[in-house]
């Protein structure tokens, strides 16, 4: 049953025992200064034990500068203390013979303002301001459980300023430094987060990239920053570590987002990435079959993998073995990347392989089945107070958490 799903995959330098990969999932379980915790090691090790072929960590900040850190209690890989603490996780996961890569991300204009330093503005491709986003919750049940009355709370962001040319290079170097630290911490490679509304996405998406220099204005220019990051990261970690690059057309502040030009833009992005240093690309969505292009049918990951010639990891709405096989049957990619089902049950790979009937319809309810009622695991408490103060003077001070 599900023969392709459970066949091995050679992905860059890594051999995966099957084609199921755990999606990056932010949990905000680190300490305030970004140090990963034992709870995180236990959480990842439990998923490794559950039969997954590879794990991609939650989005992690690679340096603590230029507004990189995006979330309170987000883990970092920005200093020696972070490296030492991540070893708990990588060792615990490796004990189950499962590779784990570290997702490196820069929040850009949707960085939680409380993560910025005093007087600092968020950075982006251009001078823009996110329109904000509604807290990601799915059902009225959740609204009830979390005690929210009235409209969904809206998250607000201050205006962002465009990165200078020198800063673009500095951010790329920051990714490389974080990648080197990730390898030191025992990760088998890194994922560059170019999706979901964060900084690299803000360069790739024409909506947020209004630049007229070499870093904007065409699909080739819009992906130049992503390619620079991949290049610097490769130089830092060498050929024996995996690099993936995550892409999407929607983002945390634009859940229904689409690339102008749809499939045609995706083809141009894919072609421009053909010679990038990533071993594989990773399509992020909530439904990989929905390309949001009224004029074309092909799913985005299929278009991009064809145009780039790169292996493709496909994410979005894969809930069972048939869902994973559908990715391969469509020629859309080489591995199925799974998020919410692994919140719900760490043994998901074993369960789907057994063919056992399972109440997957419960997925969207707090992302856990038979919730342990500790909602903090899925929704950290600070998410209940989403009206962030955009006043840039009210920020943390650098002295507070130097490691």
Ligand X SMILES: Cc1cc2nc3c(=O)[nH]c(=O)nc-3n(C[C@H](O)[C@H](O)[C@H](O)COP(=O)(O)O)c2cc1C
- Which residues fall within 8 angstroms of residue 18, CB to CB, at 6 or more apart? 5, 6, 7, 8, 9, 51, 52, 53, 349
284 binds ligand X (CB under 6 A): yes
Q: Find the catalytic residue in 43, 44, 198, 265.
A: 198
Residue 255 lies near ligand X (rule: CB under 6 A):
no
- Contact positions with ligand X (CB under 6 A) in 36-55: none
Which residues, numbered 115-154, are part of the site for ligand X (CB under 6 A)?
Answer: none
Residue from 29, 268, 278, 338 touching ligand X (CB under 6 A): that is 338
Whether 162 contacts 127, CB under 8 Å = yes
Q: Which is nearer to ligand X, 25 or 228 (CB)?
A: 25
Handedness of CA 267, 273, 278, 279 (dihedral sign): positive
Choice between 5 and 284, CB closer to ligand X: 284
Out of 69, 109, 224, 340, which residue is the one contacting ligand X (CB under 6 A)?
340
Distance CA 106, CA 61 (A): 6
Distance between CA atoms of residues 336 and 332, nearest Å? 10
Q: Is 325 in the site for ligand X (CB under 6 A)?
A: no
Please give the residue whose beta carbon sits closest to ligand X in the complex: 339
Does the protein bind ligand X through residue 247 (CB under 6 A)?
no
Nearer to ligand X, 111 or 211 (CB): 111
Least distance between ligand X and beta carbon 381 (Å): 14
Q: What DSSP string describes 319-358?
A: -SHHHHHHHHHTT--SEEEESHHHHH-TTHHHHHHHT---
Q: Applying CB under 6 A, which of residues 19, 246, 302, 366 lies at the interface with ligand X?
A: 246
Q: Which of 34, 59, 107, 311 binds ligand X (CB under 6 A)?
A: 59
SS3 308: helix
Q: What angle do CA 68, 70, 74 make, to 5 degrees?
A: 110
Pick between residue 162 and residue 305 the one whose CB is nearest to ligand X. 305
The four Cα atoms 63, 64, 69, 71 give a dihedral, to 10 degrees, of 130
The answer to whether residue 358 is catalytic is no
Known catalytic residues? 198
Residues that bind ligand X in the complex, under the rule CB under 6 A: 23-26, 58-59, 103, 193, 195-196, 246, 284, 286, 315-318, 338-340
């Amino acid at each position: 049953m599900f023969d392709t799903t459970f066949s091995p995959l050679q992905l860059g330098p890594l051999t995966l025992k099957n084609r199921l990969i755990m999606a990056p999932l932010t949990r905000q379980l680190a300490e305030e200064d970004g140090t990963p915790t034992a709870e995180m090691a236990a959480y990842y090790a439990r998923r490794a034990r559950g039969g997954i072929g590879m794990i991609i960590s939650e989005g992690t900040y690679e340096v603590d500068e230029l507004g990189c850190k995006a979330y309170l209690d987000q883990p970092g890989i920005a200093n020696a203390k972070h490296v030492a603490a991540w070893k708990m996780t990588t060792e615990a996961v490796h004990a189950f013979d499962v590779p784990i890569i570290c997702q490196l991300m820069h929040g850009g204009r949707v960085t939680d303002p409380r993560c910025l330093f005093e007087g600092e503005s968020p950075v982006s491709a251009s001078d823009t301001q996110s329109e904000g986003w509604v807290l990601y919750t799915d059902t009225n049940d959740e609204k009830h459980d979390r005690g929210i009355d009235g409209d969904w709370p809206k998250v607000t962001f201050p205006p962002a300023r465009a990165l200078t040319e020198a800063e673009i290079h500095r951010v790329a170097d920051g990714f490389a430094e974080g990648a080197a630290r990730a390898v030191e911490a025992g990760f088998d490679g890194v994922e560059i987060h170019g999706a979901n509304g964060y900084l690299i996405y803000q360069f790739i998406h024409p909506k947020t990239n209004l630049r007229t220099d070499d870093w904007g204005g065409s699909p080739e220019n819009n992906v130049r920053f992503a390619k620079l990051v991949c290049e610097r990261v490769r130089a830092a970690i060498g050929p024996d570590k995996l690099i993936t690059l995550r892409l999407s057309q929607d983002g945390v502040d634009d859940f229904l987002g689409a690339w102008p030009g749809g499939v045609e833009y995706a083809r141009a992005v894919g072609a421009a990435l053909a010679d990038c240093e990533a071993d594989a690309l990773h399509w992020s969505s909530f439904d990989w079959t929905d390309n949001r292009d009224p004029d074309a049918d092909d799913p985005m990951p299929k278009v991009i993998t064809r145009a780039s010639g790169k292996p493709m990891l496909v994410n979005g709405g894969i809930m069972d073995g048939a869902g994973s096989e559908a990715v391969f049957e469509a020629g859309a990619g080489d591995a199925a990347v799974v998020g919410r089902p692994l919140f719900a049950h760490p043994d998901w790979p074993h369960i789907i392989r057994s063919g056992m009937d399972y109440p997957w319809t419960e997925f969207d309810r707090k992302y856990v089945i038979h919730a342990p009622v500790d909602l903090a695991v899925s929704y950290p408490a600070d998410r209940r107070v989403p009206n962030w103060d955009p006043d840039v003077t009210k920020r943390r001070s650098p002295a507070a958490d130097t490691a």
